[in-house]
Structure 1
Amino acid sequence: MSDALKILLIGQSKVGKSCIILRFCENTFTPITGTTIGVDFKFVEHKVDQKVHRLQVWDTAGQERFRTITSTYYRNMDGVLVVYDITDQNSFEQVTDWVKEIRKHAPIDIRMLLVGNKSDLNGSRKVTQENGKNLADFLNCPFIETSAKTGNNISESFTVLTRAILKIKSEKGEQQKKKVKSIKIKADQPKKKSCC
Protein backbone atom coordinates (compact mmCIF):
# COMPACT_ATOMS: atom_id res chain seq x y z
CA MET A 1 0.00 0.00 0.00
CA SER A 2 1.36 3.43 -0.92
CA ASP A 3 1.14 6.75 0.90
CA ALA A 4 -2.27 7.78 2.17
CA LEU A 5 -4.49 9.86 -0.06
CA LYS A 6 -5.42 13.04 1.81
CA ILE A 7 -9.07 14.07 1.67
CA LEU A 8 -10.56 17.19 3.27
CA LEU A 9 -14.24 17.80 4.06
CA ILE A 10 -15.33 21.43 3.93
CA GLY A 11 -18.60 23.31 4.06
CA GLN A 12 -20.68 25.38 6.43
CA SER A 13 -21.10 24.42 10.09
CA LYS A 14 -23.73 21.79 10.85
CA VAL A 15 -23.89 20.27 7.36
CA GLY A 16 -22.71 16.93 8.78
CA LYS A 17 -19.01 16.79 7.90
CA SER A 18 -17.98 15.14 11.17
CA CYS A 19 -20.91 12.72 10.96
CA ILE A 20 -19.85 11.74 7.43
CA ILE A 21 -16.32 11.05 8.68
CA LEU A 22 -17.58 8.97 11.62
CA ARG A 23 -19.94 6.99 9.37
CA PHE A 24 -17.19 6.35 6.82
CA CYS A 25 -14.32 5.60 9.20
CA GLU A 26 -16.15 3.87 12.06
CA ASN A 27 -19.59 3.03 10.60
CA THR A 28 -21.28 4.85 13.46
CA PHE A 29 -23.67 7.76 13.65
CA THR A 30 -23.84 10.18 16.53
CA PRO A 31 -25.89 13.31 15.98
CA ILE A 32 -23.38 16.03 16.75
CA THR A 33 -25.23 19.18 17.75
CA GLY A 34 -22.32 21.39 18.71
CA THR A 35 -19.28 22.55 16.81
CA THR A 36 -16.54 19.99 16.37
CA ILE A 37 -13.39 20.95 18.20
CA GLY A 38 -10.06 19.20 18.14
CA VAL A 39 -10.61 16.62 15.41
CA ASP A 40 -7.78 16.65 12.93
CA PHE A 41 -7.97 13.52 10.80
CA LYS A 42 -8.70 9.81 10.74
CA PHE A 43 -7.09 7.04 8.74
CA VAL A 44 -9.18 4.41 7.01
CA GLU A 45 -8.48 1.67 4.49
CA HIS A 46 -10.93 1.77 1.59
CA LYS A 47 -11.23 -0.78 -1.20
CA VAL A 48 -11.68 0.67 -4.68
CA ASP A 49 -11.62 -1.52 -7.79
CA GLN A 50 -10.19 -4.54 -5.95
CA LYS A 51 -7.34 -2.56 -4.40
CA VAL A 52 -7.12 -1.25 -0.85
CA HIS A 53 -6.14 2.40 -0.48
CA ARG A 54 -5.23 4.20 2.71
CA LEU A 55 -7.14 7.44 3.11
CA GLN A 56 -6.37 10.22 5.56
CA VAL A 57 -9.69 12.00 6.05
CA TRP A 58 -9.46 15.54 7.45
CA ASP A 59 -12.10 17.44 9.38
CA THR A 60 -11.87 21.22 9.62
CA ALA A 61 -12.62 21.03 13.36
CA GLY A 62 -15.12 23.88 13.40
CA GLN A 63 -12.82 26.45 11.82
CA GLU A 64 -15.22 27.00 8.94
CA ARG A 65 -17.39 29.15 11.22
CA PHE A 66 -14.67 31.76 11.26
CA ARG A 67 -13.42 31.23 7.68
CA THR A 68 -9.98 30.64 9.16
CA ILE A 69 -9.19 27.56 7.14
CA THR A 70 -5.71 28.40 5.99
CA SER A 71 -3.78 27.30 2.98
CA THR A 72 -2.04 24.73 5.21
CA TYR A 73 -5.27 22.72 5.28
CA TYR A 74 -5.42 22.67 1.50
CA ARG A 75 -1.72 22.12 0.89
CA ASN A 76 -0.90 18.54 -0.07
CA MET A 77 -4.55 17.52 -0.18
CA ASP A 78 -5.48 15.15 -2.96
CA GLY A 79 -9.24 15.62 -2.81
CA VAL A 80 -12.03 17.60 -1.21
CA LEU A 81 -15.62 16.74 -0.38
CA VAL A 82 -17.53 20.03 -0.52
CA VAL A 83 -20.54 19.35 1.70
CA TYR A 84 -23.87 21.15 1.99
CA ASP A 85 -27.09 20.26 3.81
CA ILE A 86 -30.05 19.59 1.48
CA THR A 87 -32.36 21.15 4.11
CA ASP A 88 -30.34 24.38 4.32
CA GLN A 89 -30.40 26.64 1.25
CA ASN A 90 -27.71 28.93 2.72
CA SER A 91 -25.23 26.06 3.04
CA PHE A 92 -25.81 25.33 -0.66
CA GLU A 93 -25.34 28.98 -1.63
CA GLN A 94 -22.00 29.05 0.23
CA VAL A 95 -20.57 26.20 -1.86
CA THR A 96 -19.18 28.53 -4.53
CA ASP A 97 -17.30 30.49 -1.84
CA TRP A 98 -15.73 27.27 -0.57
CA VAL A 99 -14.74 26.29 -4.10
CA LYS A 100 -13.09 29.70 -4.57
CA GLU A 101 -11.04 29.00 -1.44
CA ILE A 102 -10.06 25.58 -2.76
CA ARG A 103 -8.99 27.01 -6.10
CA LYS A 104 -7.06 29.79 -4.38
CA HIS A 105 -5.09 27.62 -1.94
CA ALA A 106 -5.12 23.99 -3.11
CA PRO A 107 -2.96 22.30 -5.73
CA ILE A 108 -4.26 22.93 -9.23
CA ASP A 109 -5.00 19.24 -9.82
CA ILE A 110 -7.01 18.67 -6.62
CA ARG A 111 -10.15 16.62 -7.20
CA MET A 112 -13.51 17.73 -5.80
CA LEU A 113 -16.85 16.05 -5.14
CA LEU A 114 -19.99 18.02 -4.34
CA VAL A 115 -21.96 16.28 -1.57
CA GLY A 116 -25.56 17.05 -0.61
CA ASN A 117 -25.85 15.54 2.87
CA LYS A 118 -28.90 14.64 5.00
CA SER A 119 -30.83 12.92 2.21
CA ASP A 120 -32.75 11.08 4.95
CA LEU A 121 -34.55 14.40 5.58
CA ASN A 122 -36.09 14.49 2.10
CA GLY A 123 -39.38 15.85 3.49
CA SER A 124 -37.55 18.98 4.69
CA ARG A 125 -35.57 19.40 1.48
CA LYS A 126 -34.76 22.97 0.39
CA VAL A 127 -32.21 22.12 -2.33
CA THR A 128 -33.34 19.88 -5.18
CA GLN A 129 -31.16 17.14 -6.60
CA GLU A 130 -31.36 18.95 -9.92
CA ASN A 131 -29.91 22.12 -8.37
CA GLY A 132 -27.10 20.09 -6.84
CA LYS A 133 -26.35 18.40 -10.17
CA ASN A 134 -26.44 21.72 -12.04
CA LEU A 135 -24.00 23.30 -9.60
CA ALA A 136 -21.67 20.30 -9.86
CA ASP A 137 -21.77 20.58 -13.65
CA PHE A 138 -20.94 24.28 -13.37
CA LEU A 139 -18.05 23.49 -11.00
CA ASN A 140 -16.92 20.64 -13.26
CA CYS A 141 -17.03 18.00 -10.54
CA PRO A 142 -19.14 14.95 -9.72
CA PHE A 143 -22.18 15.14 -7.43
CA ILE A 144 -23.74 12.75 -4.94
CA GLU A 145 -26.34 12.93 -2.18
CA THR A 146 -25.59 11.17 1.10
CA SER A 147 -27.01 10.47 4.52
CA ALA A 148 -24.54 10.11 7.37
CA LYS A 149 -27.48 8.97 9.51
CA THR A 150 -28.44 5.98 7.33
CA GLY A 151 -25.06 5.52 5.66
CA ASN A 152 -26.60 5.99 2.20
CA ASN A 153 -23.90 6.77 -0.40
CA ILE A 154 -21.23 7.55 2.22
CA SER A 155 -18.81 4.86 1.05
CA GLU A 156 -19.74 5.57 -2.57
CA SER A 157 -18.81 9.24 -2.20
CA PHE A 158 -15.30 8.31 -1.06
CA THR A 159 -15.07 5.74 -3.85
CA VAL A 160 -15.97 8.34 -6.50
CA LEU A 161 -13.43 10.82 -5.12
CA THR A 162 -10.71 8.18 -4.69
CA ARG A 163 -11.13 7.06 -8.31
CA ALA A 164 -10.82 10.66 -9.51
CA ILE A 165 -7.67 11.16 -7.41
CA LEU A 166 -6.11 7.92 -8.66
CA LYS A 167 -6.91 8.84 -12.27
CA ILE A 168 -5.16 12.21 -12.05
CA LYS A 169 -2.18 10.66 -10.22
CA SER A 170 -1.91 8.01 -12.94
CA GLU A 171 -2.04 10.66 -15.67
CA LYS A 172 0.64 12.70 -13.91
CA GLY A 173 2.79 9.57 -13.58
CA GLU A 174 2.48 8.86 -17.31
CA GLN A 175 3.40 12.46 -18.16
CA GLN A 176 6.44 12.22 -15.90
CA LYS A 177 7.53 8.96 -17.57
CA LYS A 178 7.24 10.62 -21.00
CA LYS A 179 9.35 13.57 -19.82
CA VAL A 180 12.06 11.28 -18.45
CA LYS A 181 12.05 9.19 -21.64
CA SER A 182 12.26 12.35 -23.77
CA ILE A 183 15.19 13.68 -21.75
CA LYS A 184 16.98 10.31 -21.98
CA ILE A 185 16.49 10.11 -25.76
CA LYS A 186 17.88 13.62 -26.21
CA ALA A 187 20.85 12.85 -23.98
CA ASP A 188 21.63 9.63 -25.88
CA GLN A 189 21.64 11.21 -29.34
CA PRO A 190 25.12 11.32 -30.89
CA LYS A 191 26.63 14.73 -31.35
CA LYS A 192 26.94 15.91 -34.94
CA LYS A 193 30.41 16.62 -36.20
CA SER A 194 30.99 20.12 -37.35
CA CYS A 195 32.49 20.70 -40.75
CA CYS A 196 35.00 23.29 -39.58
Structure 2
Amino acid sequence: MEGSKKGYQFTAGQERFRNLIPRYYANSHVAIGVFDISNKASFTSLEFWIQELKRYAPSDCKIILIGNKADLKEKRQVLPKDKLPWTSESKHPKIIEISAKTLKKPNSILDSIASEGLAVKKARTLKQEEEERENERIQMYGEHSETPPMRRRKFLMCGSDRGQRK
Protein backbone atom coordinates (compact mmCIF):
# COMPACT_ATOMS: atom_id res chain seq x y z
CA MET A 1 0.00 0.00 0.00
CA GLU A 2 2.86 2.33 -0.82
CA GLY A 3 1.85 5.90 -1.49
CA SER A 4 -1.42 5.48 0.42
CA LYS A 5 -2.05 7.87 3.27
CA LYS A 6 -3.03 6.15 6.49
CA GLY A 7 -4.36 7.71 9.66
CA TYR A 8 -4.84 6.00 13.00
CA GLN A 9 -6.86 6.99 16.05
CA PHE A 10 -6.30 5.13 19.32
CA THR A 11 -8.68 5.37 22.27
CA ALA A 12 -7.60 2.31 24.28
CA GLY A 13 -11.22 1.86 25.36
CA GLN A 14 -10.93 4.62 27.92
CA GLU A 15 -14.08 6.31 29.20
CA ARG A 16 -12.68 9.81 28.63
CA PHE A 17 -12.58 9.21 24.86
CA ARG A 18 -16.20 8.09 24.50
CA ASN A 19 -17.49 11.57 23.67
CA LEU A 20 -15.05 11.68 20.72
CA ILE A 21 -16.31 8.43 19.20
CA PRO A 22 -18.63 9.94 16.57
CA ARG A 23 -15.83 12.13 15.23
CA TYR A 24 -13.33 9.27 15.05
CA TYR A 25 -15.74 6.86 13.38
CA ALA A 26 -17.26 9.29 10.85
CA ASN A 27 -15.18 8.38 7.79
CA SER A 28 -13.46 5.22 8.99
CA HIS A 29 -12.56 2.54 6.49
CA VAL A 30 -11.43 -0.05 9.05
CA ALA A 31 -11.96 -0.38 12.80
CA ILE A 32 -9.72 -2.55 14.95
CA GLY A 33 -10.68 -4.05 18.29
CA VAL A 34 -8.04 -5.72 20.43
CA PHE A 35 -8.81 -8.30 23.10
CA ASP A 36 -6.80 -10.60 25.36
CA ILE A 37 -7.28 -14.28 24.41
CA SER A 38 -6.55 -15.23 28.03
CA ASN A 39 -9.40 -13.02 29.31
CA LYS A 40 -12.94 -13.87 28.14
CA ALA A 41 -14.28 -10.60 29.59
CA SER A 42 -12.04 -8.56 27.28
CA PHE A 43 -13.55 -10.43 24.32
CA THR A 44 -17.17 -9.98 25.40
CA SER A 45 -16.60 -6.31 26.25
CA LEU A 46 -16.05 -5.70 22.54
CA GLU A 47 -19.84 -5.70 22.22
CA PHE A 48 -19.98 -2.05 23.32
CA TRP A 49 -17.45 -1.00 20.69
CA ILE A 50 -19.08 -3.02 17.91
CA GLN A 51 -22.44 -1.43 18.73
CA GLU A 52 -20.82 2.02 18.69
CA LEU A 53 -19.32 1.25 15.28
CA LYS A 54 -22.72 0.21 13.96
CA ARG A 55 -24.15 3.44 15.33
CA TYR A 56 -21.52 5.96 14.15
CA ALA A 57 -19.29 4.43 11.47
CA PRO A 58 -20.23 4.12 7.81
CA SER A 59 -22.03 0.85 7.06
CA ASP A 60 -19.15 -0.33 4.86
CA CYS A 61 -16.53 0.10 7.60
CA LYS A 62 -14.66 -3.21 8.00
CA ILE A 63 -14.07 -4.58 11.49
CA ILE A 64 -10.94 -6.52 12.37
CA LEU A 65 -10.52 -8.02 15.83
CA ILE A 66 -7.05 -8.78 17.10
CA GLY A 67 -6.64 -11.42 19.77
CA ASN A 68 -3.47 -10.56 21.67
CA LYS A 69 -1.34 -12.80 23.90
CA ALA A 70 -1.39 -15.75 21.51
CA ASP A 71 1.76 -16.93 23.30
CA LEU A 72 -0.35 -17.76 26.39
CA LYS A 73 -2.00 -20.83 24.85
CA GLU A 74 -2.23 -22.62 28.23
CA LYS A 75 -4.24 -19.70 29.68
CA ARG A 76 -6.52 -19.31 26.65
CA GLN A 77 -10.15 -18.45 27.47
CA VAL A 78 -11.18 -17.35 23.97
CA LEU A 79 -11.04 -20.04 21.31
CA PRO A 80 -10.63 -19.27 17.59
CA LYS A 81 -14.05 -20.85 16.95
CA ASP A 82 -15.76 -18.57 19.49
CA LYS A 83 -18.29 -16.32 17.84
CA LEU A 84 -19.39 -12.96 19.02
CA PRO A 85 -22.89 -13.50 20.41
CA TRP A 86 -24.14 -10.10 19.22
CA THR A 87 -23.22 -10.44 15.54
CA SER A 88 -24.88 -12.43 12.80
CA GLU A 89 -22.84 -15.01 10.92
CA SER A 90 -22.68 -12.83 7.80
CA LYS A 91 -21.50 -9.79 9.75
CA HIS A 92 -18.87 -11.61 11.80
CA PRO A 93 -15.65 -9.58 11.91
CA LYS A 94 -12.31 -10.95 10.81
CA ILE A 95 -10.27 -12.21 13.81
CA ILE A 96 -6.47 -12.34 13.78
CA GLU A 97 -4.34 -13.64 16.65
CA ILE A 98 -0.96 -12.18 17.56
CA SER A 99 1.51 -12.05 20.39
CA ALA A 100 2.82 -8.61 21.29
CA LYS A 101 5.47 -10.40 23.34
CA THR A 102 6.92 -12.48 20.50
CA LEU A 103 5.94 -9.98 17.78
CA LYS A 104 4.86 -12.66 15.33
CA LYS A 105 2.75 -11.56 12.37
CA PRO A 106 2.83 -7.74 12.79
CA ASN A 107 3.43 -7.10 9.08
CA SER A 108 0.69 -9.45 7.92
CA ILE A 109 -1.75 -7.70 10.26
CA LEU A 110 -0.80 -4.27 8.99
CA ASP A 111 -1.06 -5.51 5.40
CA SER A 112 -4.49 -6.98 6.11
CA ILE A 113 -5.69 -3.74 7.70
CA ALA A 114 -4.31 -1.65 4.85
CA SER A 115 -5.80 -3.86 2.13
CA GLU A 116 -9.22 -3.90 3.83
CA GLY A 117 -9.10 -0.12 4.17
CA LEU A 118 -8.01 0.35 0.58
CA ALA A 119 -10.84 -1.87 -0.68
CA VAL A 120 -13.40 0.19 1.25
CA LYS A 121 -11.86 3.45 0.02
CA LYS A 122 -11.94 2.29 -3.63
CA ALA A 123 -15.56 1.17 -3.32
CA ARG A 124 -16.55 4.52 -1.78
CA THR A 125 -14.70 6.44 -4.50
CA LEU A 126 -16.43 4.45 -7.27
CA LYS A 127 -19.81 4.98 -5.63
CA GLN A 128 -19.18 8.72 -5.25
CA GLU A 129 -18.07 9.05 -8.89
CA GLU A 130 -21.17 7.17 -10.03
CA GLU A 131 -23.41 9.46 -7.96
CA GLU A 132 -21.68 12.54 -9.37
CA ARG A 133 -22.19 11.30 -12.96
CA GLU A 134 -25.85 10.63 -12.21
CA ASN A 135 -26.27 14.12 -10.73
CA GLU A 136 -24.65 15.67 -13.82
CA ARG A 137 -26.98 13.70 -16.08
CA ILE A 138 -30.00 14.85 -14.10
CA GLN A 139 -28.86 18.48 -14.20
CA MET A 140 -28.17 18.38 -17.94
CA TYR A 141 -31.16 16.44 -19.24
CA GLY A 142 -33.81 16.44 -16.55
CA GLU A 143 -34.61 13.96 -13.87
CA HIS A 144 -36.37 11.26 -15.92
CA SER A 145 -34.55 11.56 -19.23
CA GLU A 146 -32.62 8.52 -20.42
CA THR A 147 -30.96 10.20 -23.39
CA PRO A 148 -30.32 13.81 -24.28
CA PRO A 149 -33.28 15.38 -26.18
CA MET A 150 -31.10 16.56 -29.12
CA ARG A 151 -29.71 13.10 -29.71
CA ARG A 152 -33.21 11.67 -29.84
CA ARG A 153 -34.25 14.22 -32.48
CA LYS A 154 -31.14 13.65 -34.59
CA PHE A 155 -31.65 9.91 -34.46
CA LEU A 156 -35.24 10.22 -35.62
CA MET A 157 -34.26 12.53 -38.48
CA CYS A 158 -31.28 10.57 -39.80
CA GLY A 159 -32.01 8.36 -42.76
CA SER A 160 -35.64 9.35 -42.93
CA ASP A 161 -37.27 9.47 -46.39
CA ARG A 162 -40.34 11.22 -45.13
CA GLY A 163 -41.02 14.59 -46.58
CA GLN A 164 -38.50 14.20 -49.40
CA ARG A 165 -39.66 14.35 -53.01
CA LYS A 166 -38.51 11.77 -55.46
> Aligned in 2, Cα 1:178/1:54: closer, same or farther, shift over 3 Å?
closer
Distance 1:180 1:116 in 2: 41
Give 1:124-163 correspondences, 5 Å limit.
Answer: 124-131=75-82, 134-135=83-84, 138=89, 139-163=91-115
TM-score by length of 2: 0.70
Q: CA deviation at 1:109?
A: 2.4
Aligned residues: 140
Contact residue 75 and residue 105 of structure 1 kept, 8 A: yes
The match for 2:23 is 72
Contact residue 144 and residue 153 of structure 1 kept, 8 A: no
> Aligned in 2, Cα 1:65/1:118: closer, same or farther, shift over 3 Å?
same
Describe the SS at the equivalent of 1:116: strand
> Aligned in 2, Cα 1:175/1:152: closer, same or farther, shift over 3 Å?
same
Higher alpha-carbon deviation: 118-127 or 83-92: 118-127
- What amino acid does structure 2 have at the position aligned with 1:147? S
- Identity across the alignment (%): 24
Q: 1:111 aligns with which of 62, 69, 76?
A: 62
Specify which structure has the higher proportion of strand: 1
Determine if the alignment matches structure 1 residue 172 to structure 2 residue 131: no
TM-score by length of 1: 0.61
Give 1:1-196 correspondences, 5 Å limit.
Answer: 48=1, 51-60=2-11, 62=12, 64-66=13-15, 68-70=17-19, 71-131=22-82, 134-135=83-84, 138=89, 139-185=91-137, 187=140, 189-190=148-149
RMSD: 2.6
Deviation >6 Å, runs of 4+:
none
